[in-house]
Structure 1
């Protein structure tokens, strides 16, 4: 029978080099297991529904939905990689140094791509509301696909630069067996904070404030039937109801992003670390963002609710369903 000291070690058979477990009350550990497991399962399931819906139904192949598809893919993998965080509840990493580095590397790429995709979504929302007449020519399928590809490549490049020291020698910064540590130097930390927190948050806030101001003015214009004189003549200031509804939905996605990710990055900025025990609330909020996005779609988008119904009733397996119209007119989007 092991002694109490051995029971507190990650690797009791190596008492001289093993890390110690994080001792938490059993109720707290169980709560964290249940919470993270539930968030992981919901994140994977709901984002898979979004991926299947947009990929399968041709009517959903719009520029905006391609951005939502990219976000759903990154959120799906966030939920999948959350499984590895369950291993760290007791403070021990049992999968070795190589898996530790690979996990952190892909985790940073995925979360970074998610942040950059939110920026693209805010730009899409801005153009749709602030320049609706030029939107079809400015935001095309080709341009959106190129932007999404560049977004993922940019995330990969930045994460590679940030983590190059850790990739060069795995386990370099581990002080004992059972530890999974990634350390950034000052330059790498600056790149991480600038491109994946300060920069994106600034862009998102500025664009959504602008969208809100313009949307309110346009709604007032529609209600009062204001006519604006332009160079080409007299045109009525109108924004389709679907565009304003879509902007409201994308705005909700942006607000959810800010609420969920800001506490986590603020703790990182203050040097309090990202360990689960040190910032559990911010940590859970960080991952909760990935499950909130599809819930927002379900709340605001009729096409998502209808496509989910087709998936669960297996009608999606019928031939020709991919060409089925999920709404009677564009305005119901």
Structure 2
């Protein structure tokens, strides 16, 4: 794939156009630069020439992560969608989160991989803006799902007697729809300028620069990070306190049934989802450091590539956490991999 990039093409060496070269000349030009679009000699961006072995290594590594992310999240989506026993309000929230992670694996990670390895944007200016709008959109949706998951666990642990009446499937479905719709609308408004003029920040062809100014970054920081994170932390602190008190009561050999005590399975679910939330915050906190420091957010930096892939990698970690802590997910995987879900009536299979 990378060899196709070489052949008869103009290159630049310390800013001077040199003669054409063959693939056999690659070892002689490791420090040289080549044009992203050779046919646009005066307006194309330049990029450093990388050794073929390094390019192959990065493609193998990054696309292995892509395949793992897509496969694991697809298993989550199939499991919750197929088995009727898993059609619970909590699992509907997990399904929404898995769909967000699956879209990251299918759309954002492959495009990001090619961009960071080739160091040229080859998909056009409109796709440049749309790709980053999609990334922020999925991030906002994931944050919204995390808030809904925290509220779900709060009600299940702190108000167990009212859980079945307050948290219903239809209500959760409505909240999920509202979460995705508001995420789409919000990010279209934030990136309206980039959609109207997708190339206003680019200095040459082959560059994809998206910059969020300080004002928009501050608004985004409050509405998609600080506000939701504060709410999530408060809810989980309350959940933790109540869960600990209930666990101590059980260890004290209290045999009477205490009204309002959450089930053991609910507390385990709260612990697992708490881990999911904490991992999410750890992966996304670095992304908002520029806004916290009062700086513009630009994708034209090395730090952007690092924090972007850290946030991408969160989409791979979530299903791994499910596999470690949810026995029902491991059983569902076994049924899916062995194709037993194709059997008649498999959707009625007892998973737990």
Q: Return the TM-score normalized by structure 1.
A: 0.89
Distance 2:249 2:277 in 1: 25
Q: Which has the larger radius of gyration?
A: 2
Distance 1:173 1:276 in 2: 14
Instruction: Specify the alignment match of 1:251 in structure 2.
Output: 274
Distance 1:276 1:183 in 2: 11
Instruction: Specify the alignment match of 2:104 in structure 1.
Output: 78
Q: Deviations over 1:11-40 (max 9, x none)?
A: 122121111225667676555433321221
Aligned residues: 322
Instruction: Specify the alignment match of 1:192 in structure 2.
Output: 220
Instruction: Specify the alignment match of 1:178 in structure 2.
Output: 206
Distance 1:188 1:23 in 2: 36
Distance 2:177 2:80 in 1: 17
Instruction: Specify the alignment match of 2:251 in structure 1.
Output: 223
Instruction: Specify the alignment match of 1:231 in structure 2.
Output: none
Contact 1:208/1:251 (8 A) holds in 2 = yes
Q: Deviations over 1:201-230 (max 9, x none)?
A: 2112221122111111111122225699xx
Residue 111 of structure 1 pairs with residue 139 of structure 2: yes
Local SS of the residue matching 1:246: helix
Distance 1:3 1:151 in 2: 48
Instruction: Specify the alignment match of 1:56 in structure 2.
Output: 82
Residue 102 of structure 1 pairs with residue 130 of structure 2: yes
Q: Deviations over 1:74-131 (max 9, x none)?
A: 0000111210012211321011112212222222212211111111111111111111
Contact 1:163/1:188 (8 A) holds in 2 = no
Distance 2:219 2:189 in 1: 9
Instruction: Specify the alignment match of 1:294 in structure 2.
Output: 319
Q: Could you tell me which runs of 5 or more consecutive residues in structure 2 were left unpaired when the two chains were aligned.
A: 1-7, 18-32
Distance 2:122 2:310 in 1: 25
Contact 2:12/2:35 (8 A) holds in 1 = no
What pairs with 1:237-248 in structure 2 (closer than 5 Å)? Answer: 238-248=261-271
Distance 2:35 2:43 in 1: 10
Residue 158 of structure 1 pairs with residue 186 of structure 2: yes
Distance 1:274 1:181 in 2: 6
Quick check: 272-281 or 245-254, which moved more?
272-281
Local SS of the residue matching 2:182: helix
Local SS of the residue matching 2:277: helix
Contact 1:92/1:178 (8 A) holds in 2 = yes
Distance 1:278 1:212, change over 3 A: same
RMSD: 2.3
Distance 2:146 2:58 in 1: 28
Local SS of the residue matching 1:21: strand
Distance 2:225 2:53 in 1: 34
Distance 1:314 1:75, change over 3 A: same
Distance 2:101 2:264 in 1: 29
What pairs with 1:265-276 in structure 2 (closer than 5 Å)? Answer: 265-267=288-290, 269-270=292-293, 271=295, 273-275=298-300
Q: Compute the displacement of 1:265 (Å).
A: 2.0
Q: Return the TM-score normalized by structure 2.
A: 0.85
Distance 1:103 1:153, change over 3 A: same
Contact 1:268/1:274 (8 A) holds in 2 = no
Q: Deviations over 1:129-162 (max 9, x none)?
A: 1111111111110110011000001101110110
